[in-house]
Chains A and B, each alone.
Chain A
């Protein structure tokens, strides 16, 4: 047996499930410390205003208040940011959106802190505000940050679009818009900050990216990175969402802990979370496409504007991912794409599972169906004839040197869904009904990991102890996706021990070097490769120790079933524990640190082209819907989802990612919208912001495609994000098939289905 097959590709149960089903897993909110204070935040009262005065004296006098802090109390820098340092955990000069903090309070109880917040008086000079990113980029628009409202502009240039349009038989222009959506992790953000006796600030919390949070807290507190220790508590969902906003919470709690000398817990209520935390970018997209009568796409000219809100956050990277993938997974000879990100006085936007792809996938996959409709071609056939194939050149000029499986994904899903039969039978059956069935699809390609947007490297430590137990440590985090389990499977497989021997250490910036963020679906391919290298590093030591005893050379040995044996003579073996003892007695250390760098990639901002990612994944989702044309209600009856993951290291976990991503996509398509009116969030809790319940998701079938990739451990690529980028387009296309209505704005909720547009609520006074 190949040693690693004992764990790789097996649906082993999650290593962290037991404590989660027992209710003993420790989330940040479950931490209680002696003398702990509770913090609350005084928020901005205008979406754009200059702060003229802050009176905290009444709040300070309230019994039970331990500290009130404003920007004046910040010991270090007032700003932080991944790309542009513009985010302010406590506003000083101006407020830029209604989630901004003006002052923070620590008190003996949350109720006292809340009361104290209500006693703080802030004077403002209200400034003109802007809430539409297209308006924000016009001359004369209110300036939110010095230097103008443009956060980022990226472009792609390939061929000659004018020539392509001239050679086209028809030209189609369409506009699409997508809404702001909220991550809606069920656990709202929470941190507990305290100082160790040596002056180290510890921030435990619901952190997704411990190193970016450490940078922000270190900068804000004026402490060296070595004196800031960020520890991840068990994380109750993140989906990209608990990064910058956790930096904000960490800075505030850290400051209050400094001022009081006591541990401080800061928990966002759901309302705080929705008002303050960053969201998925709303996009305004314009597509112009030229096609031949046979469906060949000749040229695409694309312009889109993303609403970045009050702070830059991840907007420069989100919009870059959009520019790379804007055409969809199709061969297009001539491409001109421009993507702009702009500041507004709306809630800021950042990373969210998909990261600039659900918006464009909705647009280009709606567009593909519109092209098919104009030409009288079946949408599936149009896609198959234009789909990227092995060796093709992408819109950014990159040659695809791996298995390109978009056609395979299209075929697998449409066959399972009985596409051809339903495309023809549904319209006939619908004629006499008010509940109409439709079927639609969307497919995509997606660059794996960070891409040329940043340095992509990460590390892992594997240690074997004298009793044969093993621990592993990486800088990447578990957030529900199953990383601890998959990394444990890799270490167990390479060492030839059962997974029960593996213990995954707490994620803590003080125990391992900065391995980058847990984002971009990069963990399995990058972190998994690092864990594998580290485990092999330890195994080689064990082989050296065992070789002498077995009278064989180390390279002839293998490890499996807790034995180390001669590969061609498996009866010649010693036990794993015996090998451990031999190695330790021989003076070896059984630990290994490994570092994994991504293969080389490049991007030219000036030319708008490059080899943007070292590999890509492909997927397709088909959605069958039933639309009640009297009420506008859309029921998603069934979704078939095929995703190429390279190699499924844990198929059950891959399926779980697919089902969860599909459900999130359903919410994006028909339910979810953070409604902002003049910067005021009107959907502040889960009674108004609707995410899918168990009654809102229909049947789901997952198909795992495996085309092993040379870049990933065991051929594995990724899964988390592509699953969430397809349902918007697939469901929009299914609704069109059912009703004949082409809806180009998300979400396609009741009013859009019935009226064709959004109901506009009456304006409420600014809070």
Chain B
């Protein structure tokens, strides 16, 4: 298969690569860039473990062809902490016991980030809708919802 050229910005860093046209964004991140915080749980866009933020929107990277991301900006879980300081959502997940096995956690945090970037005053329902595409088998979601709500409440106070 003839390779195609792709320029993509991941976590603020620009990459120019030659890739197979059928490469999924998920494989580009994991296999080519070794950003393995993005997980594969089902390969069909049901579990949300592969969630990344593509040009401001949370997407299942297993359903996105890397080739269509030319010129796009992507944020993965590795792009959230700055200079060793965790993102407020990351810290809140720790503080609320919202992490168990941790396999859904990167995708869950990125779905939450995409929500809060768009809606600073989410209701509990908004949060549940935003993470409805991120399956978690360990937590029952309660502490995850609390972790996100706490960050939202903190950020909306002027």
- Do residues A22 and B77 form an inter-chain contact, with CB atoms below 8 A? yes
* Interface check A715, CB cutoff 8 A: no
Assembly CA distance A653 to B96 (angstroms): 10
Q: Which residues from 36 to 93 on chain B have a C-beta closer than 8 Å to any C-beta of chain A?
A: 36-44, 46-47, 49, 76-78, 80-81, 86, 90-91, 93
**A residues in contact with B143, CB < 8 Å:** 652, 655-656, 659
**B residues in contact with A661, CB < 8 Å:** 140
Tell me the smallest distance from the CB of B91 to a CB of chain A, in Å: 8
Given the known inter-chain contacts A22-B81, A691-B137, A693-B132, please indicate yes or no for A17 contacting B103, CB distance below 8 A: no
Given the known inter-chain contacts A236-B103, A694-B145, A697-B141, please indicate yes or no for A186 contacting B97, CB distance below 8 A: no
Assembly CA distance A480 to B106 (angstroms): 15
- Do residues A186 and B37 form an inter-chain contact, with CB atoms below 8 A? no
Digitize A162-189: 1 where CB-to-B-CB distance is under 8 Å, 0 elsewhere: 0000000000000000000001111110
* Interface check B25, CB cutoff 8 A: no
Of B40, B93, B95, the contact of A29 (CB 8 Å cutoff): B40
Tell me the smallest distance from the CB of A237 to a CB of chain B, in Å: 4
Chain B contact residues, majority secondary structure: loop
- Do residues A700 and B97 form an inter-chain contact, with CB atoms below 8 A? no
Tell me the smallest distance from the CB of A75 to a CB of chain B, in Å: 32
- Do residues A185 and B94 form an inter-chain contact, with CB atoms below 8 A? no
- Do residues A17 and B93 form an inter-chain contact, with CB atoms below 8 A? yes
Given the known inter-chain contacts A660-B140, A686-B47, please indicate yes or no for A480 contacting B101, CB distance below 8 A: yes
Tell me the smallest distance from the CB of A741 to a CB of chain B, in Å: 27
**A residues in contact with B127, CB < 8 Å:** 694
Q: Which residues from 537 to 574 on chain A have a C-beta closer than 8 Å to any C-beta of chain B?
A: none
- Do residues A686 and B81 form an inter-chain contact, with CB atoms below 8 A? no
Assembly CA distance A695 to B140 (angstroms): 10
Tell me the smallest distance from the CB of A732 to a CB of chain B, in Å: 20
- Do residues A21 and B101 form an inter-chain contact, with CB atoms below 8 A? no
**A residues in contact with B103, CB < 8 Å:** 27, 185-187, 236-237
**A residues in contact with B104, CB < 8 Å:** 186
Assembly CA distance A236 to B94 (angstroms): 17
Of A13, A237, A687, A695, the contact of B94 (CB 8 Å cutoff): A13
Assembly CA distance A655 to B94 (angstroms): 14
**B residues in contact with A183, CB < 8 Å:** 137
**B residues in contact with A655, CB < 8 Å:** 97, 143
- Do residues B94 and A17 form an inter-chain contact, with CB atoms below 8 A? yes
* Interface check A585, CB cutoff 8 A: no
Given the known inter-chain contacts A23-B38, A686-B46, please indicate yes or no for A656 contacting B100, CB distance below 8 A: yes
Assembly CA distance A237 to B39 (angstroms): 13
Assembly CA distance A685 to B42 (angstroms): 7
Chain A interface residue count, Cβ-Cβ cutoff 8 angstroms: 57
**B residues in contact with A187, CB < 8 Å:** 39, 41, 49, 101, 103
- Do residues B138 and A237 form an inter-chain contact, with CB atoms below 8 A? yes
Assembly CA distance A29 to B49 (angstroms): 13
- Do residues A237 and B101 form an inter-chain contact, with CB atoms below 8 A? yes
**A residues in contact with B101, CB < 8 Å:** 185-187, 235-238, 479-480
**A residues in contact with B144, CB < 8 Å:** 694
**B residues in contact with A691, CB < 8 Å:** 135, 137
Tell me the smallest distance from the CB of B137 to a CB of chain A, in Å: 5
Query: Which of B46, B78, B135, B137 has most A Cβ within 10 Å?
Result: B137
Given the known inter-chain contacts A18-B94, A656-B139, A663-B140, please indicate yes or no for A186 contacting B41, CB distance below 8 A: yes
- Do residues B139 and A660 form an inter-chain contact, with CB atoms below 8 A? yes
* Interface check B121, CB cutoff 8 A: no
18 more contacts with CB within 8 A, not counting A185-B103, A186-B101, are A13-B97, A18-B94, A19-B102, A21-B91, A23-B76, A23-B77, A32-B34, A188-B40, A235-B101, A656-B100, A659-B142, A660-B137, A685-B43, A685-B44, A686-B47, A694-B141, A694-B144, A695-B132
A to B CB contacts below 8 Å, 18 in the list: A17-B93, A20-B99, A20-B102, A21-B102, A21-B105, A23-B38, A27-B36, A27-B103, A185-B101, A186-B49, A187-B103, A236-B103, A270-B47, A481-B100, A663-B141, A694-B127, A694-B144, A700-B142
The 4 A-B pairs of least Cβ separation, nearest first, read: A23-B37, A480-B101, A20-B102, A236-B103
Interface residues of A, Cβ cutoff 8 Å to B: 11, 13-14, 16-27, 29-30, 32, 183-188, 234-239, 269-270, 479-482, 652-653, 655-656, 658-664, 685-687, 691-695, 697, 700
